[in-house]
Amino acid sequence: MKNFLIGVGVVFGILFVFMLLTVGVVSAANKPKGDKEEVLPGKKGNSKKALIIYHPGISKFTTRMTHQLAKGLNEGGYEVTLNHPGDHLSTDLSGYTLVVFGSPTYAGQISSAMRKYMARACPQIANTLTMGIVLFSTGALDEIQEFDKLEEMLVGLNVVKKVKFLAGSKTENDKTAYDLGIELVKE
């Protein structure tokens, strides 16, 4: 009996430590990652402008998909600005024809840094129907509940695409993200 109780205690102890670690990882991963603006200049002086706001994840998958998408948009003719969500980033997005929000999924949600930024920026772009909005998430699960949770925030926005990149073949995902960029230029 004594050994059984020790065993149960050890199992609960391990589960508790695992839970603490997971909470720690998710909370660190969700934090804003600061100002990291990059600009891919357009080929013409009057190129249309796209802004990609992305939250970099723990590994490099989200960042990789972001840059492939940016490459497609840029090669299609857009001037593309990339940056992370956060207080440093203006919520005046009026100069952009296309705005992309991209984030990893943690426990069925996009990052809290992205949600906070979107809560500030989205009401300002609501009813700007000349601006296309694209949402993308990355993750391990083939379900997109993370977008459903944003519905209230998206009211009045011209959402042209919602995409989830599933961690898998790198080459295949690279092509899908690049092709999405090219496709968005044509819309």
Ligand X SMILES: Cc1cc2nc3c(=O)[nH]c(=O)nc-3n(C[C@H](O)[C@H](O)[C@H](O)COP(=O)(O)O)c2cc1C
- Choose which of 25, 39, 119, 155 interacts with ligand X (CB under 6 A): 25
CB of 112 to ligand X, least distance (A): 13
CB 181 within 8 A of CB 71: yes
Nearer CB in complex with ligand X: 62/68 = 62
Q: Looking at 21-29, 74-82, 87-95, 155-163, which segment touches ligand X (CB under 6 A)?
A: 21-29
CB of 48 to ligand X, least distance (A): 27
- Choose which of 154, 167, 182, 185 interacts with ligand X (CB under 6 A): 167
CB of 173 to ligand X, least distance (A): 11
CA distance 143 to 74: 29
- Choose which of 50, 52, 54, 61 interacts with ligand X (CB under 6 A): 61
Q: Is 85 in the site for ligand X (CB under 6 A)?
A: no
Please count the residues of this chain forming the interface with ligand X, following the rule CB under 6 A.
19
CB of 33 to ligand X, least distance (A): 11
The DSSP code sequence of the chain is -HHHHHHHHHHHHHHHHHHHHHHHHHHHHHS------EEE--SSTT--EEEEEE---SSSHHHHHHHHHHHHHHHTT-EEEEE--STTS-S--TT-SEEEEEEEEETTEE-HHHHHHHHHHHHHHTT-TTSEEEEEEEESSS--HHHHTTGGGGTT--EEEEEEEESS-HHHHHHHHHHHHHHHHH-
Distance from the first to the final alpha carbon of the chain: 69
Closest CA to 64 of 143, 177, 161: 177
Name which of residues 87 to 146 contact ligand X (CB under 6 A).
104-108, 138-141
- Choose which of 26, 160, 182, 185 interacts with ligand X (CB under 6 A): 26
Binding site for ligand X (CB under 6 A): 22, 25-26, 57-62, 104-108, 138-141, 167
